[in-house]
Amino acid sequence: MTTAAGSLVSAELAAAAEAVRETCGLQLGLALRPAPDDAGATGAAGWCRSGIDLTAADGRWRLTLLADAQSARRLTQRLFGLDPDEDPEPADLADALKELVNIAAGVFKRDRRDPRLHIALPDFAEGGPAPAPLPPDAASVRLAAGPLDPQVRVLLDWRGAAETGGERREP
Amino acid sequence: MKILIVDDSRAMRRIIHRTLRQAGFAGLEVLEAADGVEALELALGTRPDLILSDWHMPRMSGLEFKRALNEAGLGIPFGFVTSENTHEMRQLAEEAGADFLLAKPFTPEDMSLALEAFVA
């Protein structure tokens, strides 16, 4: 990433990754740490992604959590307190990943000390490959714990300057 | 003691329920609702002893739900559990008569501190 926006994204990515680490640590008891990028898995199919749009005074962002199918399953099992051999319902898997990105967005907002930052509703998609290469104004970091633990990629994507108006939710 | 957990995310309802147990609140009867409309109906019918509600929900938000409870004359202890925790939200919650606002993510200790005045 060589653009000015890219530098901004890189600077904010650390905060976003920390927000995800705090969320997974406190809510799942999962001690994730930044890990070397696993480029070999980037193009694999079967990824799950939950994302959320953030609108701050300095622009619009999108925070995305990417998890391979096995990691998404394990994250959901942890969140719902399921046994390791218990398969979560597809709706619960989507719900779990949306809730994690939603909480992380709240932590990101808290740490940015920006009470006007607007957090949209999270969305979820599964089945596609992870983005490779990343969009020009995006950066990602892989978070992992033990070899049998789930891992996630945190992706922060700059969507340009904030527009005035638009739909906002309460308050 | 009856607690009503209100959140459109089943995952979050599960987290709250589990954290209540981890915080040492045993023997609770836990009721669940997925939005303010469902919660209001349940609260009117069952009169829970404490309500823990999300803020942002479809159909009826947590704040609208709290205001509806006030209009119905139900002074049930009420706490918001929400991923956003701004001064503006705290002010709105306080004006509506909420007893506390617990920010996500939270630990069993956070939950214990927030609820100790309301759970026997």
pLDDT tens, residue by residue, B86-110: 889 999 999 999 999 999 999 999 9
Q: At what angle do helices A90-112 and B10-22 cross, to 10 degrees?
A: 70
pLDDT tens, B27-84? 899 999 999 999 999 999 999 999 999 999 999 999 999 999 999 999 999 999 999 8
Structure tokens at A68: 């391979």
Whether residue B103 and residue A169 make contact (CB cut-off 8 A), yes or no, is no
ipTM of this predicted structure: 0.88
Cβ–Cβ < 8 Å for A162, A55:
yes
Please name the member of A23, A81, A109 whose beta carbon is closest to the beta carbon of B84. Answer: A109
Averaged pLDDT for residues A66-89: 92
Contact of B31 with B5, CB cutoff 8 Å: yes
Average pLDDT of the segment spanning A97-111: 95
CB B69 within 8 A of CB B36: no
Q: What is the pLDDT of residue A168?
A: 37
CB atoms B105 and A115 under 8 Å: no
Taking CA atoms, what residue in B is nearest to A27? B105
- Cα distance between residue A7 and residue A15, in whole Å: 14
| Beta carbons within 8 Å of A153's beta carbon, 6+ residues apart | A65, A66, A67, A130, A140, A141, A142, A143
Q: Which residues of A fall within a CB distance of 8 Å from B14? A: 79-81
For A78-99, what is the mean pLDDT? 92
In the structure, what pLDDT confidence band is assigned to residue A158 with cuts at 50, 70 and 90? confident
Contacts B108 to A, Cβ<8 Å: none
Q: What is this structure's pTM? A: 0.88
